[in-house]
Amino acid sequence: MKPTKKLARQAGFLYFLLIPLGVFGIMFIPMQFIDPGDIASTINNIETDTFTFRLSIVSALITQLVQILVVLALYQLLKSVHKNAAVLMVISILIAVPIAMLNELNHFAVLESLGNAEQVSLFLELHEYGVSIAQIFWGVWLFPMGYLVYKSGFIPKIIGVLLCIACFGYLGDSFAFFLDLNLGFAFSDSTFAGEIALVLWLLIKGVNTK
């Protein structure tokens, strides 16, 4: 099937949805509720606004459902370029999604353990490890996607290159966390441009159907 502007914009819109959902579902709790080094303050923050804490968990779960729709839309858009690479892209996300969804059990466990500071600390730490495990596949899927974009001829090659770079940014963050390197920065903070560029290109330009 030839790629169409309509399909491209559908994929771009779904990909765009991941931004607010992901920020609220994955980044909001660490930023808003967790006070590093002060578990008592963290527990108080959660108890003060339990509804928002739960809402963030729900957003994280919805993010994963949307992620499935995103990768399926991109598969339809890019499979004509190289089907095996497109399948690898899909498999990577289908591995990441259950990891990320099951990881939210740690946040639910936090809510059930607010009376025990040690358990709350443990479950928050386990959640962070879970995110880093899922992040491996959030990185891996970008490499075949970047290759497909680069070879497609209907999306600029530079976006494909940037997506491959973003892959290694996520992988670098995950393994730096596992090795407890404490670098003081995240690689992905400076390598995410490819994903933003792809979203904007698909939404505004679509694809060059010629």
Percent of the chain with pLDDT over 70: 97
pLDDT (0 to 100) of residue 2 = 57
Other C-beta atoms closer than 10 Å to the C-beta of 126 total 16
Give pLDDT, residue 185. 87
- Whether the per-residue pLDDT at 76 is higher than 60: the answer is yes
Q: Average of pLDDT values for 58-63?
A: 94
- What does the DSSP assignment read for 83-133? HHHHHHHHHHHHHHHHHHHHHTHHHHHHHHTTT-HHHHHHHHHHHHHHHHH
Reported pTM: 0.88
Coil/strand/helix, residue 38? coil
| Residue 79 pLDDT | 93
Chain-centroid distance, C-alpha 189: 13
For 97-137, write each residue's pLDDT tens digit: 999 999 999 999 999 999 899 999 999 999 999 999 999 99
Q: Which amino acid is at 84?
A: N
pLDDT at 88 over 90: yes
Read off the amino acid at residue 83: K
Q: Is the pLDDT of residue 1 over 80?
A: no
**pLDDT tens digits for 11-32?**
999 999 999 998 888 888 878 8
Average pLDDT over residues 135-159: 95
CA-closest candidate to residue 76, choices 87, 67, 66, 91: 87
